[in-house]
Structure 1
């Protein structure tokens, strides 16, 4: 279990003129994903799922130091990284070279005090950041040059963009709906997914990963819900149901537990499918986490899922899955520089056979890297399955 399990679930709602048409997100053809949690989590077989892997060292210099990764987006041969603590979006090449960053802290026009999230508008080729202090979205071109800003009057937690529209996750105390669609060109807004008593219980808490992820479409994954929602060209829908069988978390557990830590401990002790996060879909696979760090890989071809505790390839462990934005076949793991260096030193001194499997370029990185450098990214490329 991660030691830094920090829970702050903040869903916020922008208020403006809203359409009265509310989509209940009903889908009679919702797809079920069965997960058997009674089987022990295993070390994954790399060759079963993946065709290749590589390591990205994010360049560290005085302008590019990252304190914490809150969102990763792969787009157009670039890597975009959100650091909420530093109120910045860092942009790197796909090889890890630092290019520039968006950081405009202040109280004037085009500035913000606190940054909450960002997304890539692929239609208009723009970066859209969402600030919670003050409430607004700021639009930049892909070089980080300011284009426009739109003031808002309420808070949100996560955003994503598709077809020129923005999807926002709402967390107002007395919110009526959980999701909102915002057309940036017309300022028209529509609300979806009525909030209920379970949403209210969990409204103060969140995992450290985004609840909204953009793959081919936009996925909305709430940690306490076994329903995965999707926003696509046709609007919102309930797309997948996670079937944990007897390991399904009891619906009324929130009535019996005082706080989120009690709920987590209860779920962990009973191995319940709870704490859902990092949901991503590729052409052939679906991946997500539960109970913080247990990875599930589901094959859309075989309709089977496997619970994975780690992968090893080229002597490197893949243990910290972090779902990224991007319409690709990648699986990403964050690897803090200090952990990477310690892992390599241990491997070199205690496991000579594994050390011999590690490529020379990675050994060189391990030798040169400092423990305070930026984290590294391990990238696994899924195989293409011929249907």
Structure 2
């Protein structure tokens, strides 16, 4: 009962109104396990493949912000300046988009990217509040004026979804602005509810997999966009939700104190990076561990796994890629690869042979590891 009161208090503090249509949807309360386990992921997912991204003097990936996997292509946003189209089999670069400026097809900062599978187009959302459209050769095709700053974008069935309008320290995470690429029309769904909270943890607040899922700061519900409406399907009963009004204010006025208290108290203030596979929802919080929700059992697990036979991959390496491929992705740096060459026993023989033949160097580009759901008949 006390935990529910704490959660309710947090939600009230985060909103300037109690009339939140999106959050009024019926959601299932999920109990968070007190004790995490280290084997649940390995019991339900198998290694699928890895992609060693090509490294050349002119092709260096700084910091990965977004990855979209679609058939033979990997679309990657590096830092806030470069977008790469990569062959999903060889890891070789096919196209680079990094035109800096304020002219047609140019950006000073790229906020987010998306992939239009229906037309085979690369979409860039930039700091001029424009959506830029490119073909798969990297040629600029057109632009759409968005006019406002949003945190994330994605593309689904010919529509571009803009998530979480930003305005200084304030954000509007319960509202989606949607652009139809074919009809060239706009519409807005959800609620224009403001939250004053600037902190984000590593990961993404909106991810497009089997469906589009998103998570709002200071909220412990899992939201899904379907039937043209955002709906809260599940809510976590988190005992570590202890953000006081004073601590929320410190996220703006005194961020260092905020992070110190969050770290010492192991406080969860954000859920993020939710991907959906056939049988699971997988997501992070700002604390360690990986959440796995079994949709058939209606049961939540927390896994702090360590794959000591595959390059020490752990829950902190999880990064949500976009794409309906029933897989989960982890990022591995090249220096970890070369420092633990003996840790390949968990890979099938053909992949160990491929790994040995790659000659990865310490300062090479990252490696993407994919794991797929196990066949239930296995």
Q: TM-score range by the shorter chain?
A: 0.7 to 0.9
Which piece of structure 1 moves more, 276-285 or 66-75? 276-285
Q: Indicate which of 363, 373, 377 corresponds to 2:368.
A: 377
Residues 63-99 of structure 1: CA deviation (Å, up to 9, x unaligned): 42111100111112211111134x1111112222222
How do 1:193-342 residues align onto structure 2 when only pairs under 5 Å count? 193-196=191-194, 199-200=195-196, 202=197, 204-244=198-238, 246-250=239-243, 252=245, 254-255=247-248, 257=250, 259-312=254-307, 314-319=309-314, 320-342=317-339
Structure 2: stretches of 5+ with no match in the other structure: 1-18
Q: For the structure 1 residues 235 and 355, does the alpha-carbon distance in structure 2 shift closer, same or farther, using more than 3 Å as the test?
A: closer
Asked if the contact 1:70/1:208 (under 8 Å) is kept, the reply is no
Cα distance in 2 for residues equivalent to 1:171 and 1:321: 26
Cα distance in 2 for residues equivalent to 1:232 and 1:121: 18
CA RMSD for the aligned pairs?
Answer: 2.7
Asked if the contact 2:22/2:232 (under 8 Å) is kept, the reply is yes
Shift of 1:60: 1.1
Q: Indicate which of 18, 23, 33 corresponds to 2:30.
A: 33
Residues 201-240 of structure 1: CA deviation (Å, up to 9, x unaligned): x1x3222322111112211123432122222243322232
Q: Which has the higher contact order (CA 8 A, sep 6+)?
A: 1
Which piece of structure 1 moves more, 166-175 or 135-144? 166-175
Shift of 1:362: 5.6
TM-score normalised to structure 2 length? 0.82
TM-score normalised to structure 1 length? 0.80
Residues 134-183 of structure 1: CA deviation (Å, up to 9, x unaligned): 22110122333322101233222211122332222211138684323222
Q: For the structure 1 residues 355 and 191, does the alpha-carbon distance in structure 2 shift closer, same or farther, using more than 3 Å as the test?
A: closer
The count of corresponding residues between Structure 1 and Structure 2 is 347
Runs of 4+ in structure 1 deviating by more than 6 angstroms, as ranges, are: none
Q: For the structure 1 residues 30 and 384, does the alpha-carbon distance in structure 2 shift closer, same or farther, using more than 3 Å as the test?
A: farther
Asked if the contact 1:78/1:93 (under 8 Å) is kept, the reply is yes
Cα distance in 2 for residues equivalent to 1:357 and 1:315: 5
Residue in 1 that maps onto 2:356: 364
Matched residue of 2:312: which SS? strand
Cα distance in 1 for residues equivalent to 2:165 and 2:125: 13
Residue in 2 that maps onto 1:17: none
How do 1:41-80 residues align onto structure 2 when only pairs under 5 Å count? 41-45=36-40, 47-80=42-75
Cα distance in 1 for residues equivalent to 2:118 and 2:73: 16
Asked if the contact 1:226/1:242 (under 8 Å) is kept, the reply is yes
Residue in 1 that maps onto 2:177: 181
Residue in 2 that maps onto 1:3: none
Structure 1: stretches of 5+ with no match in the other structure: 1-21, 349-353
Which piece of structure 1 moves more, 162-171 or 373-382? 162-171
Matched residue of 1:254: which SS? helix
Shift of 1:191: 5.1
Cα distance in 2 for residues equivalent to 1:106 and 1:79: 25
Cα distance in 2 for residues equivalent to 1:385 and 1:230: 26
